[in-house]
Amino acid sequence: MKKTKILAGVAVIAGAVAAGALWINGDTSADDVASNNVLTRQLPTAADAAAIERGRYVAIASDCTACHTMPESKLPLAGGYSISTPFGGIYASNITPDVETGIGNWTERDFFRAVRHGKGKEGEHLYPAMPYNAYVKLTDRDMHDLWMYMRSVKPIKYQVPETNLGFPYNIRLAMMGWNLLFFKNSGFQVDPNQSVAWNRGAYLVEGPAHCAACHTAKNLIGGDSSDYLQGSNLGEWHAPDITPNPHTGIGGWSAQQVVDYLKLGSNHVAVASGPMAEAVTNSTQHLTDEDLKAIAVYLKQVPASKTTRPQPVAADSAQMKMGENVYSANCTACHNSDGKGIPNLAASLAGNPGLLAEDASSIITTVLQGGRGAVTAGNPTSGAMPSFAWKLSDEQVAAAATYLRNSWGNAASAVNPDEVAKARAQLKLPPQMSAH
């Protein structure tokens, strides 16, 4: 009887703790600073105009375009883009001020609550494909300015398809549990022991730029792991380690080289491609030099990943010899025999940390699919690479990738042809063209 009472008491305490945690986690009182009035369209005052311009910058820093504008569409911020997740596609919403299909009948508080706390207008839980776990760090002023900007954009009437995930991911109430585990309901805290530049960089990286959304590995239910900014698989791409690790990260880059990469889309080694090319084109190239330098200061001081340099694959192995032949016949024109590439055009392969992750998804995708670097004001021509799916077999692609990852001082695990076959199928690319 006594044991039963003890267990019952423990259960009551545990339940109270869980209820309290859920209450704290779901508390949106920080958003009460926002107006509860629907803002009708009207001629802006001078103060409004200044806020709108600041809000435009916040929207750029937050890369709202990436998800809320369909690629190649003429419907800016009207949603409809299907964000790929391990649980299915999640359609980004229309965030233009259209009354019927967008957020035209929202109040500022509705907007604050959605962006910072993942709660829709009717109180429904948003999926964390919307990175509210990062945006919760946005300041009240940045949120107000962003709201003013969003109210100023052209209303577009476009009904976004409904997101229909399979069971149990279609139960939005389950997001309460996800939030309890992975959502830290607190704004950005300035570290008084760090410089102004470090704090500004931390705010941008952790908040609006939401770098962890791609560069921090996720667990089985989509929550951030403890490996902050140490790289993560994005399906056909791999977001690389951006900690100061000298082997797989940016430890070998100077602060200016980080700035160049974010401003131009390239530096002495790397050329932004895939999702990162879009981020540079739409977002980071437009940030002020001061903000880019602040990001560099912060990234150069976050804890480095523990990944160490492995033994390189033996140069006389059959796969390396095949890879060398493939590289010599197909790659040296742009990347050179020494692997140093062409500045601002073709990536250097020697010492390129993006090549050296255990996950070789990005190099496999690039060889199979080809790609184009970021197009920026400072580097408008960029560079493009053709697809080699038609020309190279899975074995040849794997050999080339292994050769790139283990030449010119590089060292990384060998790539298996089965990985290439899987990527080819995922990308829906044709097999090697037959010579007969």
Give 371's contacts (C-beta < 8 A, 6+ positions apart): 273, 274, 277, 365, 384, 385
- The confidence score (pLDDT) of residue 167 equals 73
Phi and psi at residue 125, to the nearest 5°? -80, 130
- The confidence score (pLDDT) of residue 144 equals 97
Give 309's contacts (C-beta < 8 A, 6+ positions apart): 247, 411
Domains and CATH numbers, the chain: 26-161 (1.10.760), 196-299 (1.10.760), 318-426 (1.10.760.10)
pLDDT tens per residue across all 436 residues of the chain:
544 544 444 343 334 444 545 546 778 899 989 888 886 656 678 888 999 999 999 999 999 999 999 988 889 999 988 887 777 788 999 999 999 999 999 999 999 999 999 999 999 999 888 999 999 999 999 999 999 999 999 999 999 988 887 776 777 778 888 899 999 999 999 999 999 999 999 999 999 999 999 999 999 888 999 999 999 998 889 999 999 999 999 999 999 999 999 999 999 889 999 999 999 999 999 999 999 999 999 999 999 999 999 999 999 999 999 999 999 999 999 999 999 998 878 889 998 988 999 999 999 999 999 988 898 999 888 788 999 999 999 999 999 999 999 999 999 999 999 999 999 999 999 999 876 5
| Residue 219: both structure tokens together | 């667990």
Overall pTM > 0.85: yes
Cα gap 289→31, rounded to integer Å: 31
- The confidence score (pLDDT) of residue 8 equals 43
Q: Are 73 and 165 in contact (CB under 8 A)?
A: no
CA distances from 348 to 174, 253, 332, 402 (A): 45, 13, 11, 16
Cα gap 358→28, rounded to integer Å: 40
Exposed, middle or buried: residue 286 (CB in 10 Å: 0-12, 13-18, 19+)? middle
